[in-house]
Every structure is written in C-alpha cells, then in structure tokens.
C-alpha cells in the first residue's frame, strides 16, 4: 500500500490537504506482519440485533432490513467545497456521514461542522493530522483520535462514536485504543479513487459500477471533481431503488461496537 503523500495548498480562506489515499478493496486486508483484518458487514450487525425495527435519524426513518440502503461518506473535510455539498444533500434529502480531519479543517471551518450536525448528518473523525495510525506510537494514536473528538463535541454537543483510519490502515493496537475511547472503525466497500482524478463523470461511473446493497461509498469533498459528481450519483442510485442513510442507520437496529471494524 503506497505511503501518504500530501501537500498543503492555500485555497480561499484556508488550507486543504491534497493527499494520495490508498484504497482497501478486499474484505480482508493484509497489514504489517501477518495480521489479517477482520471486518463486520452491516447486514450481520442488523441480524445480530435480533429484531427488525426502523430507526429514526435526522433525515427520516429507514429500515435497512427491508429497504435497499446505501451510505454516502466523505473523508478529510470540511473544506471550501463542503458548503456546496451540504446544499446538494439538503436539496436531495440525502443524509451522509462525514469523517472529518482536525488540523486546517475542523479548526478552519467550524461553522460547517455545526451545519453538518444541525442538518442531520453523522459527524465522525478521520484523525487530527491524517497520521498513519499503524506507524504511530500508542500515545500518538490517542492524540490523533481524542483531539478531533473533543473539538467535534465542543462544536456539536455530540461526541463521535465512529472513526475512519487514514488509508484504511489499522491493526490490533488501533483497535484496542479505539475500544478504550469508545470508537468503532468504519472502512468502505465502494471507492471512486477521486484523489486520482477531477473528472466528475469518471467518479460517477466508478461509484455506480461498484455500488450494491449495504454499500459504504468513500468520497472526498476536498477534491474539485467530487462535489459536482454527487448529484448524478444520488439521482442514478435513487433510480436503482437505493435509499441513502448514515452509517448508524445502515447498522440499525444494531449498533457499532467500539474496537470493531465495519465495512
């Protein structure tokens, strides 16, 4: 898996991270050493809950045991593109899950963090500086996870319960610290690799080709081609019968457990 390459570029009123993210494509990832990553699917969480109840979220009630659900998720924001994205999601009545970065993002666009929460989206963590957690010491991992959580809680009144490790790279040490901090790890099943292209049509095509029931779509609103692709993605998937939900709604009536990894 390639290492993260990032540069800070000044844009508008703040900065954004232009990063090369590596995608995890299989259900089992080979990590450092011989460790194998075990992940839990949304359907197995629902089945384990032992009941099929609808869950009420910020943008409506959905029962994913019966509905054809799919989750839109966005990493590494908020950014100068997030306001337009939120406008689109509001217009189309689509909830999303935002895995936010801290440095130069949460601290640069606090009003957008509040807006995400106020408009019914799930606000979660993508660490403070996008440090690769499997390369970090335990104290560094805790700092990367605790700092954005504190800021998000201060801004929204709700402490995140979900996080996404940078590049999807995680291991037993990360699982253990997440368990201590009450965090569940969320990966993805669909990636447009929008860090490779600004071609909105190509981003749309990639998402549509990979989407299936209970899918978790990975996008980044920091890239210029991504937000313009969202209306087409939403409209096409709705025509296929999909209902958009947040990650917690996708798992309901079950709940994500701290220290576990979901895809």
Catalytic residues: 75, 220
Question: What distance in Å separates the CA atoms of residue 236 and residue 59, rounded to the nearest whole number?
Answer: 20
Instruction: Identify the residue whose tokens are 């029962």.
Output: 63
Question: What distance in Å separates the CA atoms of residue 172 and residue 134, rounded to the nearest whole number?
Answer: 9
The two beta strands, 190-191 and 215-220, are: parallel
Distances (CA, A) of 199 to 36, 195, 207, 263: 34, 10, 13, 26
């Amino acid at each position: 898996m390639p290492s993260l390459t990032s540069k800070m570029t000044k844009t508008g009123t703040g900065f954004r991270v232009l990063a090369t993210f590596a995608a995890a494509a299989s259900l089992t990832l080979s990590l450092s050493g011989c460790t194998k990553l075990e992940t839990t699917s949304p359907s197995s969480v629902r089945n384990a809950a032992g009941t099929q109840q609808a869950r009420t979220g910020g943008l409506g009630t959905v029962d994913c045991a019966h509905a054809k659900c799919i989750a839109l998720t966005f990493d590494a924001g908020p950014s100068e593109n997030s306001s337009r994205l939120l406008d689109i999601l509001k217009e189309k009545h689509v909830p999303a899950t935002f895995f936010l970065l801290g440095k130069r993002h949460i601290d640069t666009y606090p009003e957008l963090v509040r807006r995400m929460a106020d408009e019914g989206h799930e606000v979660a963590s993508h660490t403070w500086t996008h440090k690769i957690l499997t390369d970090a010491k335990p104290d560094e991992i805790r700092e990367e996870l605790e700092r954005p959580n504190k800021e998000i809680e201060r801004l929204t009144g709700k402490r995140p319960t979900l996080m996404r490790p940078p590049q999807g790279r995680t291991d037993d040490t990360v699982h253990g610290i997440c368990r201590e901090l009450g965090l569940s790890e969320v990966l993805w099943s669909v990636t447009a690799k929008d860090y490779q292209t600004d071609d909105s049509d190509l981003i749309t095509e990639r998402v549509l080709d990979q989407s299936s029931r209970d899918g978790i779509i990975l996008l980044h609103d920091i890239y210029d081609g991504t937000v313009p692709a969202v209306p087409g993605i939403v409209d096409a998937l709705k025509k296929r019968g999909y209902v958009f939900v947040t990650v917690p709604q996708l798992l309901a009536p079950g709940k994500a457990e701290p220290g576990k990894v979901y895809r």
